Amino acid sequence: MMSDPIADMLTRLRNAQAVGEKKVKFFASKVKLAILSVLEEEGYIAGVDVLQDGVKRYADVTLKYHQDKPVIEKIKRISRPGLRVYKDSDSLPIVRAGMGEAIISTSKGVMTAKAARAQNLGGEVLCTVE
């Protein structure tokens, strides 16, 4: 049993880009797919396909590179099972002076910190991407 599946997903993305893989595949959940959707909207990954194998769902993520370098320079888990990190809309993190993104789980769904700030929403800070 895995204690933090979101951290596992982020590590798989980080490792796959470090060795130059084009795709990475792992078990899918609603939260993981929501995070991947935000990463795709913001241009950090090329695409996500959801594959069904009986009861199990898999996310097949196509990674994105620019001039043979990964688009995701750094991806870091912030809130974790042992230490949840919640912020209100005024204190949401700004990553690399706006050049990166913080992904937040709010009452209206998973979104970037910029979108959450615009809607005056706070929530759990899931991860940051640069």
pTM for the full predicted model: 0.96
DSSP 58-125: EEEEEE-EETTEES-S-EEE-SBTTB--EE-GGG----GGGTSEEEEEETTEEEEHHHHHHTT--EEE
Task: Give me the pLDDT at residue 59, please.
Answer: 98
Sort 106 into a burial class: Cβ within 10 Å, 0-12 / 13-18 / 19+.
middle
Token couple for 8: 């596992």
Domain boundaries, the chain: 5-129
Give the class (CATH, top level) of 5-129.
Answer: alpha beta
Task: Give me the pLDDT at residue 32, please.
Answer: 98
Judge whether 84 and 107 are in contact, CB under 8 Å: no
CA–CA gap between residue 71 and residue 79 (Å, rounded): 23
Task: Give me the pLDDT at residue 56, please.
Answer: 95
Sort 10 into a burial class: Cβ within 10 Å, 0-12 / 13-18 / 19+.
buried
pLDDT tens track of the chain, all 130 residues? Answer: 689 999 999 999 999 999 999 999 999 999 999 999 999 999 999 999 999 999 999 999 999 999 999 999 999 999 999 999 999 999 999 999 999 999 999 999 999 999 999 999 999 999 999 9
Cβ neighbours of 101 (radius 10 Å): 26
Task: Give me the pLDDT at residue 2, please.
Answer: 83
